[in-house]
A = this chain, B = another copy of it.
């Protein structure tokens, strides 16, 4: 999904702030040998070109909440860009450890950090090169997680605002990690893949840090009360859930050329999604199960499973869930009791529209 709601110069500002964090670390890394510098360079390289969905959402919502651009702000503009950059870096840190846990060496059709580090060492045997890549990704995740906390802890603000931001960061990391742990429990068959578990897991693993977090941060840095944060949290959870369910649907029913991921990758990886949880409850499961999670799944196999998922009602069930969450978000946005300024409601409605219609 491309967001074009905020001014392009803001996108450039966030991008350059994120890159500056990496550049500063590259400079400092010189004291620790060439390998360590190479690790920071490879990380800077692989973090480049993100869509900046989360920091853009933060800044956009912050502007909408303040309404009047001349209104007194709790944080100066630089501090807001700083926190927005930290939100993006947190996303990148999560992706690194997620890829380590899943054993992935690609992301969006390019080698990820593990792949980059591994491929840079053709002199090592395959096992050592893989270990080298994995080690780099674990340690870089730690360094970036630390960086995010440093950025939050040093934000130029009063104590109350800083503590609210630290609380939010804590809440977000807890939810995301708990969701990730549940996700692995599902794929390791350590817990039963029922529908409710899967919906809770995806909300925790993705919706919280992608939608709830930037929206609530925007409220905090705008100096608005806990009630505004709470109203935005509700909208963020609905939109985040819809967004993630769409991801699941796009991976099976979408156009790979458009969504950019490998066709049927979720089916090949045996990802436990709401689609699959629904299908398990139907007679179609007997036809789906044999090839589900097969690393050698062909496009033909994928298309066959797709057709089963369509015929057994899994697709319409998930589309219905998406519609429900979009409707719940719209209703929360319109709620007169929610302490949201008109501009914020408009921005959220536009966001809901974009999510509803997204194809990538």
A39 adjacent to chain B (CB < 8 Å): yes
A135 adjacent to chain B (CB < 8 Å): yes
A169 to B170, CA, bound (A): 18
Of residues 12 through 56 on chain A, the ones whose CB sits less than 8 Å from some CB of chain B are 28-29, 32-33, 35-36, 39
Of residues 213 through 234 on chain A, the ones whose CB sits less than 8 Å from some CB of chain B are none
Q: Which residues of B contact A124 (CB under 8 A)?
A: 188-190
| Closest chain B CB from A65 CB (angstroms) | 25
A359 adjacent to chain B (CB < 8 Å): no
Closest to A100 in B: B138
State the number of copies, please. Answer: 2
A178 to B166, CA, bound (A): 27
Of residues 135 through 182 on chain A, the ones whose CB sits less than 8 Å from some CB of chain B are 135-136, 138-139, 141-143, 145-146, 149-150, 152-154, 162-163, 166, 169-170, 173-175, 177-178, 180-182
Q: Does B188 contact A128, Cβ atoms closer than 8 Å?
A: yes
Closest to A129 in B: B188
Closest to A204 in B: B32
Across the interface, A150 reaches (CB within 8 A) one of B142, B149, B188, B191, namely B149
A32 to B150, CA, bound (A): 27
The range of chain A's interface size is: 35 or more
A184 adjacent to chain B (CB < 8 Å): yes
Instruction: Tell whether A182 pairs with B142 under 8 Å between CB atoms, given A166-B150, A190-B132.
Output: no
- Report 21 cross-chain contacts, Cβ distance below 8 Å, ordered by A residue: A33-B178, A33-B200, A35-B181, A35-B182, A100-B138, A101-B138, A121-B190, A128-B189, A131-B188, A132-B185, A135-B188, A136-B181, A139-B177, A139-B181, A146-B149, A146-B169, A146-B170, A149-B149, A150-B166, A150-B169, A153-B153
The 10 closest A-B pairs by CB, nearest first: A153-B153, A149-B149, A32-B178, A128-B188, A135-B184, A36-B178, A139-B177, A146-B173, A132-B188, A101-B135
List the interface of chain A (C-beta within 8 A of B). Answer: 28-29, 32-33, 35-36, 39, 97, 100-101, 121, 124, 128, 131-132, 134-136, 138-139, 141-143, 145-146, 149-150, 152-154, 162-163, 166, 169-170, 173-175, 177-178, 180-182, 184-185, 188-191, 197, 200, 204
